[in-house]
Amino acid sequence: MKKLLVVPVIALFLISFKANAQSSKTEVLNKVASKNVKTVTLKLTGITCAGCSNAIYNALNEVDGVLEHSVEYPGDIAVIEFDDSKTSVKALKLVIEEKGFKAEVIKGKV
């Protein structure tokens, strides 16, 4: 009887896994197809520790339109991929500045 229960459970797990993989592919394709996706690299000042970079990372996480981002410490660089129909470089800089740090666009990196 236990063997009869195991087979359907495994089958459901595999079907669920395949559906999740398919939805991830769709998200990637939609992102690539979007003409509104931009990437900006910002030089950050005022970061003194990993906690500072974590605060910036978490703040950017809350911004609608931010698709992917990283905040490097040491290095004091933020690389942000965003949908420019939902947010702007100016708005991203403002979010960082509201946390008490400065952010400047690195020339040629918009």
Contacts of 85 (CB under 8 A, 6+ apart): 36, 65
- The answer to whether the predicted template modeling score (pTM) of the entire model surpasses 0.75 is no
Q: pLDDT at position 16, please?
A: 47
Question: CATH classification of 36-105, choosing from 3.20.20.80, 3.30.70.100, 3.40.630.30, 3.40.50.300?
Answer: 3.30.70.100
β 77-83/102-105 pair status:
unpaired
Q: pLDDT at position 3, please?
A: 52
Using CA atoms, how far apart are residues 50 and 80, in angstroms rounded to an integer? 18
Of the candidates 41, 50, 91, 43, the one whose C-alpha atom is nearest the C-alpha of residue 68 is 41
Q: pLDDT at position 8, please?
A: 54
Q: pLDDT at position 28, please?
A: 53
Distance of CA 76 to the CA centre of its chain: 17
pLDDT along the chain (110 residues), means of 10: 50 45 52 76 94 94 94 92 93 96 82
